[in-house]
Amino acid sequence: MFWLYTCTNNMFFFVVFSAHCHCQQGWREYNNKCYFFSTDTKSWMEANAYCMGLNTNLMSIQDIHERVRSCVNDFLIQLSPTGISLWMGGHDSVTEGGWEWSDGSPFRYIRWSTGNPDDYYGEDCLSILINNGYWNDDNCESKRGYICKRKGKICCFNFCCSHLQTEDII
């Protein structure tokens, strides 16, 4: 719970924010973020377009804490429609070796599988291996499952306010 006092025109408002996050049906919530694990396969571009159509992005991982605490590793093996890997939002299609996230966030944390990225036959898109959570640079045209990620809705009382994180409120 977060308590917020505000004063406007000599009137005090008292608002209670619950740290509980709400995700729409079919999404999995973890740490105020919502994750959508596909049950179909698409190329990286198709998966990226699909996520953007949902007002989300292909998943990015910002640091080890997000990866370790996220639900990703818990659900990878059971939810991958291909049984091999899932698309995430990383790509180096603009500049070879210049990896970036499709959501525009900084590409700081890396977890490459041994020998990767290797740009084998022009691989420019990032997939996460379901057996160990390590990353692979992959052929963007390959059909893979994918993970969309967005901030969850913070719920105030019994209704959800907006797509905020708790740190956005405080």
**Hey, what are 84's tokens?**
């091999």
Cα–chain center distance at 120: 26
Q: What pLDDT does residue 4 have?
A: 35
3-state secondary structure of 52: helix
pTM of the prediction? Answer: 0.75
What is the spatial distance between Cα 17 and Cα 153, in angstroms, rounded to a whole number?
11
Alpha helical stretches, state H, the chain: 44-53, 64-69, 72-79, 166-169
What pLDDT digit, counting tens, does each position of 83-121 carry?
688 999 999 999 999 999 999 999 988 899 999 999 999
Strands (E), 31-162: 33-37, 57-58, 85-91, 100-101, 125-129, 135-138, 145-151, 153-156, 159-162
What is the spatial distance between Cα 114 and Cα 131, in angstroms, rounded to a whole number?
14
Q: Domains in the chain and their CATH numbers? A: 1-23+154-170 (no CATH), 27-151 (3.10.100.10)
Q: What pLDDT does residue 77 have?
A: 53
CA distance to 70, 73, 92, 126, 127, per residue, from 137 (Å): 21, 18, 9, 5, 6
Q: What pLDDT does residue 21 have?
A: 61
pLDDT tens per residue, the chain (170 residues)? 333 333 344 443 334 444 456 788 888 887 788 889 898 999 999 999 999 999 999 999 876 766 655 555 656 555 566 668 899 999 999 999 999 999 999 998 889 999 999 999 999 999 998 888 899 999 999 999 999 999 876 554 444 444 444 333 33
